[in-house]
A = this chain, B = another copy of it.
Amino acid sequence: MNSEFGPRHLLSDAVATATMSPIEARMLFRSGMVTPTAGWAAGYAQANLIIVPKTQAFDMLLFAQRNPKPCPILGVFDAGQTSGPLLAEGDIRTDLPRYTVYVDGEVVAEPTDISGYWRTDLVTFIVGCSFTFEAALQEGGIRIAHIDQGTNAPMYRTSIRCRPAGSISGPLVVSMRPIPASQVADAVRITSRYPAVHGAPVHVGSPAELGIADLDHPDFGDPVEIAAGEVPVFWACGVTPQAAVMESKPWLAIGQAPGHMLITDARDSSYLV
């Protein structure tokens, strides 16, 4: 369990962070504030980040295209670009609260600013995040256990392999939410309308078939309780590109730190089909 996943109720001013604009939030992070971003800038899409050198960029983009449920690409910056359409007046090097830097697949740093790692050949990929469909689930009357419990969603490496692309390969990572049996169909229906942010679940029930031996020990995030009458429902997870980086070992890659997402200018609703 990672201490970075701070409970939401400990945020100093939950109301103010929820009503903040994306650019206001990014400016705070740029000026040094470090916090998980769940609940910030409500209504705006938060996103995963994966940055690789241009020499790896075709393979990473193709990996995402071949695995659109875990890796839904919302935007790609040209090599060296530090801002773009989803990030007005932004700087991808400073505007997330915390990053994870990988060298040869190993985590070498978790800085709050990646200016020191920046290179003009780096290509930035912005990848959809389940926060968008969690808001829709809550609006649909479905409680999210990890939000109620003030933790990050439990995430698991599965035994399912992503379709490889050139030098990039890795396992499908899933997030799990316990859903009351009477609401599983609603959860499928609601999330299926957000294909750009992981869409419908990849699996309902039977964690063993995903190669998950113990739901109480997630590979990322925090365990949640599954109440009687609830079914574990699994969605493809945007941590998948980072799991692929750990396995495929490009010489350099940078992602967000878990739970410390990019807050984009896109509205959650823009990803509803």
Contacts and interface: CB of A to CB of B under 8 A. Distances in A.
B65 A62 contact: no
Given A58-B61, A61-B61, A66-B76, 17 more contacts: A57-B58, A58-B58, A61-B62, A61-B65, A62-B76, A65-B65, A65-B73, A65-B76, A66-B75, A78-B166, A192-B273, A193-B273, A195-B195, A195-B273, A199-B273, A200-B273, A273-B273
Contacts of A193: 273
Interface residues of A, number: 18
Interface string A61-79: 1100110000001011010
Interface of A: 57-58, 61-62, 65-66, 73, 75-76, 78, 166, 192-193, 195-196, 199-200, 273
Contacts of A78: 166
A76 B163 CA distance: 12
Contacts of A58: 57-58, 61
Contacts of A166: 78
